[in-house]
Amino acid sequence: MSVTWCRRALVGGRFEAGVRIEADASGRVTRLTVGAPDDGAGLRLGTVVPGFGNAHSHLFHRALRGRTHGDGGDFWSWREQMYAVAGALDPDRYRALAAAVFAEMLAAGYTAVGEFHYVHHRPGGAPYPDHDMELALADAAEEIGLRLTLLDTCYLRGGLDRPLEPAQRRFGDGSAEAWLERWHRLRDRLGHRRLVTLGAAVHSVRAVTEADVAAVVAGLPAGTPLHAHVSEQPRENEECLARTGLTPTGLLARAGALSPHFTAVHATHLTGADVGLLGGAGASVALCPTTEADLADGIGPARTLADAGVRVAIGSDQNAVVDPVLELRAAEAHERLASGRRGVFDPAELWLMGTANGYASLGLADPRAVPGLAVGDLCDLVELDDASARTVGSRPEQLVLAATAADVRTVVVGGRVRPVPDVAALLADALGALGTPSTLSSPGAVSAS
């Protein structure tokens, strides 16, 4: 059993004083006491919130940070540079980069991540002998101490009417049936790792047909988290409507994908009917505000989605920014810019987005209506500095509108303090092993994801 005493902590939607948290050997909260005196036992922390959940990440995109933001272009031209990085990965490089990026996430206060993983095979498409790329991610997460929901991704074509391009062949399994066979073998291979959960994804309606989406849904165990990129760009909507008569959300709904276990990533360009379908299904949406701004995707209808009953979570996506508080602040700021109003989301809603909603999207928690710690939760905690140059004088509930990742002092996963290694050194080594900037920024042409 572990014991943590917090000077104050977010419980039941409020910051309460003197919170004692007891967790069992499995790392789950068994008892919460509010107003408890500090008896000097166990771990002693200051201002504590639940760990942040990163609902959507492509960790290898981190290799492009600081090199692709100032050259103009659009989402489609940016993708060509991204494919060059994917082409340089092998299991050893992938594990090293994953450990470095996961360490950066842990240092920023993320205690769980959903890695949207599709770099499955060797360049050219030949399989590795033993799920080498997937095990590289699982091993890296366990090394760092970050919870990983491995969203193994079905990726079968290069566009609505195009086969995979050469740069995409390592992403594909040939058919939904072959992907499902590999997914089930991977589940057996992963076994019962304490920090690793196997989820699933269909890359998008561009990359997986409606029939294959239906096959994926039918072939997965009940309750498996299922994610998909949805309506990130208007072009996706236009092509899907032209070829099927449905929006991407409509197509996914008809294929049976929408459920409380489904997460639509981005969901930037939705119709009112799309919002209704997602809300009616009790689904989640993973907003990635810093990525959506960087790639000029647009502003998603976050307030409208939340009002329709959709659980809104956040993700770091391309990892140009790894900071959950900044993602939350960006989501709220985008709504202010779009509406001309302040306070479109109140602080309690932002805490919920960043913590419990992310965990629910990743299959790590049941949905809830208020933020904060509760008995039965995973004992994943983040201590924030409430007296830094950024936060001093802030009301506790408004730390989400004042703090940054620089204010994360201590991170606890499963009741254990997780020491953060030298993130910069890990990143320098991993990025150096991938190659020089010139080799990563000169990819061959790719016409579709």
The larger pLDDT score, comparing residue 435 to residue 37, is at 37
HSE, side-chain direction, 13 A CA sphere, residue 254: 13
Q: How far apart are CA 344 and CA 300, in angstroms?
A: 14
At 68 the pLDDT is 78
Given a cut of 70, is residue 442 above it in pLDDT? no
CB 125 within 8 Å of CB 173: no
Q: What is the mean pLDDT of residues 391-396?
A: 98
At 75 the pLDDT is 67
- Cα dihedral 301, 307, 310, 315, rounded to 10, equals 50
Phi, then psi, of 20 in degrees rounded to 5: -100, 125
User: Residue 73: pLDDT band by 50, 70, 90 thresholds?
Assistant: low
Per-residue pLDDT of 256-277, as tens digits, reads 999 999 999 999 999 999 999 9
Per-residue pLDDT of 194-229, as tens digits, reads 999 999 999 999 999 999 999 999 999 999 999 999
Q: What is the set of active-site residues? A: 266, 317
Per-residue pLDDT of 7-30, as tens digits, reads 999 999 999 999 999 999 999 999
Q: How far apart are CA 403 and CA 313, in angstroms?
A: 18
At 444 the pLDDT is 35
Q: How far apart are CA 53 and CA 353, in angstroms?
A: 9
Given a cut of 60, is residue 446 above it in pLDDT? no
pTM above 0.85, yes or no: yes
CB 381 within 8 Å of CB 47: no
At 445 the pLDDT is 32
**Tokens 């004042």 -> residue:** 402
Pure H helices in 147-233? 176-190, 210-219
Average pLDDT in the chain: 94
Q: How far is CA 390 from the centre of its chain?
A: 26
* Angle, vertex CA 380, rays to CA 377 and CA 383, nearest 5: 130
Given a cut of 60, is residue 437 above it in pLDDT? no
Residue type, 71: D
Q: What is the mean pLDDT of residues 362-385?
A: 98
Q: Which residues contact 148 (CB under 8 A, 6 or more apart)?
A: 102, 112, 113, 115, 137, 138, 141, 195, 196, 197
User: Residue 69: pLDDT band by 50, 70, 90 thresholds?
Assistant: confident
The H or E element containing residue 312 is strand 311-314
Q: Please name which of 252, 335, 245 lies closest in space to residue 289, comparing C-alpha atoms.
A: 335
The larger pLDDT score, comparing residue 195 to residue 191, is at 195
b/e 104-129 (16+ beta carbons within 10 angstroms → b): bbbbbbbbbbbbbbbbbbeeebeebe
Q: How far apart are CA 336 and CA 108, in angstroms?
A: 25
At 448 the pLDDT is 31
User: Residue 76: pLDDT band by 50, 70, 90 thresholds?
Assistant: low
Q: Which residues contact 242 (CB under 8 A, 6 or more apart)?
A: none
Task: Determine how β-strand 311-314 pairs with β-strand 284-287.
Answer: parallel
Q: What is the mean pLDDT of residues 391-404?
A: 98
| CA–CA distances in Å: residue 248 to residues 77, 269, 359, 409 | 22, 10, 25, 41
Given a cut of 80, is residue 1 above it in pLDDT? yes
Q: Got the DSSP string for 423-439? A: HHHHHHHHHHHH--HHH
Per-residue pLDDT of 322-356, as tens digits, reads 999 999 999 999 999 999 999 999 999 999 999 99
> Hey, what are 199's tokens?
């989820």
Q: Got the DSSP string for 78-139? A: HHHHHHHHHHT--HHHHHHHHHHHHHHHHHHTEEEEEEEE---S-TTSPPPTT-HHHHHHHH
Q: Please name which of 50, 52, 197 lies closest in space to residue 111, comparing C-alpha atoms.
A: 52
Given a cut of 50, is residue 409 above it in pLDDT? yes
User: Residue 80: pLDDT band by 50, 70, 90 thresholds?
Assistant: confident
Given a cut of 50, is residue 144 above it in pLDDT? yes
Q: Is the dihedral of CA 273, 224, 123, 138 positive or negative?
A: positive
Kindly state the DSSP code that residue 39 receives in the 8-state scheme.
Answer: -
